[in-house]
Structure 1
Amino acid sequence: MSAEPASSNGVQIHHTRMLPDFLLSVKLKYVKLGYHYLVSHLLTLCLVPLIAVIIVQTSQLNPDDVHQLWLHLQYNLVTVVIFSVVLVFGSTAYIMTRPRSVYLVDYSCYRPQSHLQVKFQKFMKHSKLTGDFDDSSLEFQRKILERSGLGEETYLPEALHCFPPRPSMTTAREEAEQVMFGALDNLFANTNVKPKDIGILIVNCSLFNPTPSLSAMIVNKYKLRGNILSFNLGGMGCSAGVIAIDLAKDMLQVHRNTCAVVVSTENITQNWYFGNKKSMLIPNCLFRVGGAAVLLSNKPSDRRRAKYKLVHVVRTHCGADDKAFRCVYQEQDGAGKTGVSLSKDLMAIAGGALKTNITTLGPLVLPISEQLLFFTTLVAKKLLNAKVKPYIPDFKLAFDHFCIHAGGRAVIDELEKNLQLLPVHVEASRMTLHRFGNTSSSSIWYELAYTEAKGRVRKRNRVWQIAFGSGFKCNSAVWEALRNVKPSHNSPWEDCIHRYPVQILS
């Protein structure tokens, strides 16, 4: 009988201890919010009293003082004219030389046909029937699939559904055509843009680079004009989509009143690994069919119908370091079979690249309050040798939506932890990985399409797209929504968004 009161007292003591901690965390939260508000509006708070003083002083002027001021301006007419001329010329020079705005009119993500879906059981059965994988490799792939974060509805190309698989140049071209033309057909239909209006074309695909190029295939298919500026980016990995956007932005600064189309994809048909080296088997379990086509414009008239405005692009390249250079590496194994090897140091290298990237991006996007906190902590640590933890800026104050490249579950987990994000901030990345797998450079567009399909993108919201790729590279693109964005017709999430988010087992 005596145990019951003791238990009750124990619970009360526990709650008594927890209550001050809870109240302290609430107080600190509101103190930080007050600090951010004060610093962010410091200029306004200082200007309001100053303007009030000027108004009061002006109201006390008598008519004679006002008359004297007018006479003084008349006698200094030359000064006034010179000032006006300088002001006009300066304004004209600024308008002519300032960077042109780049608008994202619309984009389209390719969705393969349902018969190309590959369930785990089918994946394992097919791998076993090929006869190329030993028991250890089969078990390894099974474990990777279970922990990958992929669902049962991802897609593989037609050639890999055949038995035996048919990884030929012909079938690889067929995959490329289905993905690129599928995305472009939908983009042109949604935007009513005529192919002849396209002045710049950029295609990025890392592992499949035939002759004629993929960009030439698009020019031939849609009969694009003869003076089109076309580019084909190869071997640049999963972050090449942001690189292509950066190239398009630079081209749109030079060429006036034109449109640019960026096509981001990857080709799996000829790049399936049939050997038994563990580090080369991981891409088989993660990479899936996908692609996106993006329409950009520098025409002021397109602002009214555009979804987003490009704000910043920040690119980081760590290729000078040998470990970073080889952490994602295409090579042949001991049996002469070609594949892409992923180093065990990949996550550490990605973390270092991310740190360098956000060091450059932070001052461009973070509020001054966060920059002051970061700078104060840095000074205390470096100059005063204080034992303080490095301050991690709160990027949730700079961005409303995060599109983290769905490279794998570990990548998303690491960024969620390092950037101190909430589950809702990485939801688009996790659900894209679950529904479509790692679609390489196009994954960030499937993620943005997910956020739009959920109705979360409001006017003036900022979106951060961040991608990692071989080389090793970490690239960021920042977009600002120009209106409350609705999903485009034939969105890849159109008939399944009601089922998401889903619970992903650990």
Structure 2
Amino acid sequence: MEFLIVLPYLLSLLYLVFHLCELVSRRRDRCCYMLAYECYKATDDARLDTGSSAKIVFRNKNLGLEEFRFLLQTIVNSGLGEHTYCPKNVIAGREESPSLIDALSEIDDIMFNTLDRVFEETQISPSSVDILVVNVSLLPGLPSLSARVMNRYKMRADVKVFNLAGMGCSASLVAVDLVQQLFKSYKSAIAVVVSSESLAPNWYCGKEKSMMLSNCLFRLGGCSMVLTNNRLLKHKAIMKLNHSVRTHIGANDEAYGCCFQKEDELGYRGFLLTRALPKAAAIAFSMNLQVLVPKILPLRELIRYVIISRRRKTKGAAANFFDTASAGLNLKTGVDHFCLHPGGRAVIDGIGKSLGLNEYDLEPSRMALHRFGNTSAGGLWYVLGYMEAKKRLKKGDKILMVSVGAGFKCNNCVWEVMKNLEDPNVWEDCIDRYPPKSTVNPFMEKYSWLNDDCLNFVKFHN
């Protein structure tokens, strides 16, 4: 009789325990682990050194002396070195008349080269892939690039396939965030992300200064990675995604138009970068940090920030959240490494200053820019590869990835290192030479005719 009285309570308790266990299991399945990533390195016949860069500049018949000076001086100040890569059709002098074959050949080489290596490294079969995300902004095609991957590796018919276009430099983190969201619905899944950009059909051949900048910064590159939420593969993971925050301010007309693909007056297609870009980046970055920072900093640092902010308000000084250093925030209390998008020297300097970072923190981004250039969506992974090659990444370390891109958007995330990382990667053959004693662009020595008048001209137009 007493047992019958207690029985309903026992059943209720068992029911509660069962659902708690199920809830914990679901939360664990939402984890996003990275098993491996592989960056692309082109062959030497695609190398863009000082000599080949000058040939490309001087054969543009649309440029006058003024445009020559502007373009070469921009290259001098770009932060790029002698070993970046560009599409073979540009090296061969066919940048004004690229073919579809040029574009597809470039992308196929990047995608399949990195995918072959990442599948080999992880011992994951393409038939085991549940989710595929490919992001290349400037090459929409039919069938899609993701379909080309499906066909090449004969993947299953039920793979969830996504082809992202027009997302810009921060598309890689958009793809990672998409995978993380999908992991909430698919248990024990394996996802593959391919991030790159198409330069072969998008080399600008006109004379608009604001559209020439892309030729000075963007270079050949890309990355493929394997992600999973399968707890049985946790021991193989190199990193775990702790937080991801996406911010999009495309509703603002000025921000929307600051990075734009268009045609100039002569009909040449290119990528426009306006003077509103720094302002848009500051707004998007600030909004993103306001969401991300409370998630990554310890409570004591947040309390200290609140006290400092109130003191500043009392004195009549408003804290700029974008400039975390002046606002009193110390991000290093919650983050060990900073992986900044190598979009250009000015981008690295600006974000570094706002976050209160030193030269050691900025070195990976500067060196990735110097060695590989701005590889758009793939850029962050070259920075990460540099950190790994320098044996900086230890188990338990936190990495903040910062990216901005057309739209305008800012996508940031925080990874946790799961094991000491020191495997060979794309930096293997040159890491001993970095950082170099000097990162002065060789154009400075070979084109000494760029005098003070030219420098003043460039400064005025920047």
| TM-score, scaled relative to structure 2 | 0.89
Deviation at 1:82, TM superposition (A): 8.0
Count the aligned residue pairs.
429
Q: Distance in 1 between matches of 2:432 and 2:115?
A: 26
Deviation at 1:126, TM superposition (A): 2.4
Q: Which has the higher contact order (CA 8 A, sep 6+)?
A: 2
2:304 is equivalent to residue 373 of structure 1: yes
Q: Distance in 2 between matches of 1:351 and 1:284?
A: 24
Q: Distance in 2 between matches of 1:388 and 1:254?
A: 43
Gaps of 5+ in 1: 1-75
1:47-92 deviation digits (Å, cap 9, x = unpaired): xxxxxxxxxxxxxxxxxxxxxxxxxxxxx98999589547624522
1:101-126 deviation digits (Å, cap 9, x = unpaired): 11100000010001111112321222
Q: Which residue of 2 aligns with 1:303?
A: 234
Deviation at 1:224, TM superposition (A): 1.0
Q: Distance in 2 between matches of 1:477 and 1:408?
A: 20
Q: Which residue of 2 aligns with 1:282?
A: 213
1:255-290 deviation digits (Å, cap 9, x = unpaired): 122210000000101111110000000000100000
Decide which of 88, 103, 108 is 2:17's aligned counterpart: 88
Question: What secondary structure is seen at the aligned counterpart in 2 of 1:486?
Answer: coil
Decide which of 41, 47, 65 is 1:135's aligned counterpart: 65
2:137 is equivalent to residue 206 of structure 1: yes
Q: 1:389 to 1:245 in 2, by over 3 A?
A: closer
Could you tell me whether the CA contact under 8 Å between 2:339 and 2:380 is conserved in 1? yes
Q: Which residue of 1 aligns with 2:323?
A: none
Question: What secondary structure is seen at the aligned counterpart in 1 of 2:84?
Answer: coil
In the TM superposition, what are the counterparts of 1:5-404 in structure 2 within 5 Å? 84-85=13-14, 88-89=17-18, 91-98=20-27, 100-165=30-95, 166-382=97-313, 384=314, 386-387=316-317, 391-404=327-340
Q: Which residue of 2 aligns with 1:54?
A: none
2:406 is equivalent to residue 477 of structure 1: no
Percent identical among aligned pairs is 38
2:404 is equivalent to residue 468 of structure 1: yes
Q: Distance in 2 between matches of 1:164 and 1:305?
A: 45
Could you tell me whether the CA contact under 8 Å between 2:308 and 2:328 is conserved in 1? no
Question: What secondary structure is seen at the aligned counterpart in 1 of 2:395?
Answer: coil
Q: Distance in 1 between matches of 2:12 and 2:304?
A: 41
Could you tell me whether the CA contact under 8 Å between 1:120 and 1:145 is conserved in 2? no
Q: Which residue of 1 aligns with 2:444?
A: none
Q: Which residue of 2 aligns with 1:446?
A: 382
Could you tell me whether the CA contact under 8 Å between 1:357 and 1:474 is conserved in 2? yes
Deviates more, 1:266-275 or 1:113-122: 113-122
Deviation at 1:134, TM superposition (A): 2.4
Q: Distance in 2 between matches of 1:406 and 1:347?
A: 15
Q: Distance in 2 between matches of 1:364 and 1:257?
A: 26
Could you tell me whether the CA contact under 8 Å between 2:191 and 2:228 is conserved in 1? yes
Deviation at 1:388, TM superposition (A): 6.8
* 2:17 counterpart letter in structure 1: V
* 2:434 counterpart letter in structure 1: Y
Q: Distance in 2 between matches of 1:214 and 1:358?
A: 33
Q: Distance in 1 between matches of 2:26 and 2:426?
A: 40
Decide which of 433, 445, 454 is 1:499's aligned counterpart: 433
Deviates more, 1:94-103 or 1:436-445: 94-103
Q: 1:200 to 1:79 in 2, by over 3 A?
A: closer
2:353 is equivalent to residue 417 of structure 1: yes
Larger Rg over CA atoms = 1
Could you tell me whether the CA contact under 8 Å between 2:135 and 2:163 is conserved in 1? yes
* 1:362 counterpart letter in structure 2: V
Q: Distance in 2 between matches of 1:387 and 1:260?
A: 47
Q: Distance in 1 between matches of 2:68 and 2:142?
A: 35
Deviation at 1:220, TM superposition (A): 0.9
Could you tell me whether the CA contact under 8 Å between 1:449 and 1:487 is conserved in 2? no
Q: 1:85 to 1:220 in 2, by over 3 A?
A: closer
Q: Distance in 1 between matches of 2:129 and 2:22?
A: 29
Deviation at 1:254, TM superposition (A): 1.1
Q: Distance in 2 between matches of 1:436 and 1:389?
A: 36
Q: Distance in 2 between matches of 1:257 and 1:94?
A: 16
Q: Which residue of 1 aligns with 2:448?
A: none
- Provide the alpha-carbon RMSD of the alignment: 2.1
* 2:337 counterpart letter in structure 1: H
2:343 is equivalent to residue 407 of structure 1: yes
Deviates more, 1:432-441 or 1:208-217: 208-217
Gaps of 5+ in 2: 321-326, 442-462
* 1:441 counterpart letter in structure 2: A
Q: Which residue of 2 aligns with 1:13?
A: none
Question: What secondary structure is seen at the aligned counterpart in 2 of 1:426?
Answer: helix
* 1:91 counterpart letter in structure 2: L
Q: Distance in 1 between matches of 2:119 and 2:23?
A: 35
Could you tell me whether the CA contact under 8 Å between 2:52 and 2:91 is conserved in 1? no
Deviates more, 1:329-338 or 1:287-296: 329-338
| TM-score, scaled relative to structure 1 | 0.81
Deviation at 1:416, TM superposition (A): 1.1
- Higher helix content, 1 or 2: 1
